[in-house]
Chain A
Amino acid sequence: MNRVLRKIASTLLAAAGALLLVSVFLDLVPGDPVDAILGEQAMEADREALRKALHLDRSVWVRTAYFVRDALGLDLRSSVPPFQDRVFDRIAQAFPRTALLALTSLAFALTIALPLGVAAALRPRTVVDMLASAFAVLGAALPRIWIGPLFILAFAIHLDWLPVSGFESARSLVLPTATLGLALAAFLARMIRASLLDTLGEDFVRTARAKGLHPTRVLFLHAFPSALLPVLTVVGLQLGALLGGAVVTEKVFDYPGMGSLLLQAIDRRDYNMVRACVLAFTFSYLLVNLLTDLAYQAVDPRTRERN
């Protein structure tokens, strides 16, 4: 129990730190933030309104407190004219789409990595293993900004099977999912292979085999649970790369999720929206990591409290 509480506390601390960093960071921009956001030719009324919206007439700490209050109270407003857009509404609309993309990518990655990693581990140093290794090495090297356009060229333009971009039907999800999930698939295939190979050499697996158990039973009931535990933690951490990669992927496919919202806000210099998007990404990442960690403790007998 102690460990669980400690983990929750450190997550909250990291979240608070991230919130503070994101709030204060705008003050690092050299010059007047009003000029930076609205440009020097902006109307005086807009400049005044922005000054009020960002609380620039107050000290850094009061300003930060206001931002934190508005952000946590979900009442943050856009920082470009007409200063009325409720940031939370836009995020509530975009967030589920990015979450959906992240989940399909994770499912895609596991669907490829599990059979590949297991096959490679069961037949080390064979053709299957070499193919799996080649996939792992290549998949990690291919940048999303390149395979995205490649997929579009091949499957949307030449073969005309799938839409080029947008978010109309389930078919629109296929190419972004493959683009976002490929690197993770490569990483997980390598990880699953290594972990399963290690486990298959353990004494308890040899014992199970020696008892005369069926090889399938040994693999699925004895080796698998132990081999997949380390993979579970990695999946949680890799979600960070997945969320970061979503920004790039959404731009390639013009997918209207959090990444597109963030890039749009950067383009319009809507810093309140930018900060809110970054925080939404960060908090969801922290939450997933916390949940993975707790799940890990729930299933791993070694981390359970003895009492």
Chain B
Amino acid sequence: MKLILTALLLFSCLPQSLVAAEGVAVGQPIPKLAPLLPGAKIPDTAGKVVLVDFWASWCAPCKASFPCLNRLQAKYAAKGLVIIGIGVDDEAADFTKFATAMDAAFPLVHDSAHKSAAAFSPGTMPSSYLIDRKGVVRHIHNGFKGAKTEKEYIAEIEALLAEKP
């Protein structure tokens, strides 16, 4: 009996423990981006509010989110917001084509090896992480739901910008 119980316990815990071990959660510090994205130009994020957005050229909601991110960049960049768009396309050509078409006003970096994606483990595409001035993840957005998400972004960004570094 004891054996069966041990076996059942092990069996039920193993997959969950593996799932729980990965990704970035609210309240955790953001992983260092430079080693995860070798060769990419990453803007200085020290003391800034950072929005890390994971996107792909094959993902329709990602495409819909770009005008919103451009608006956020225009409105809040001067106040201390840094937006970093991480493209997870396999092909560099797809990344470049999409990036050109979207005309992003914020820096885009290509993560073809999926190193940073594996570190953050975004639950959906797109997924974005709002990080406060101290480098701690404060909000995670899974998916982009148009005006609703934009409203949430604005409220959260304004609150984070108001915090003292």
Does B bind A? no
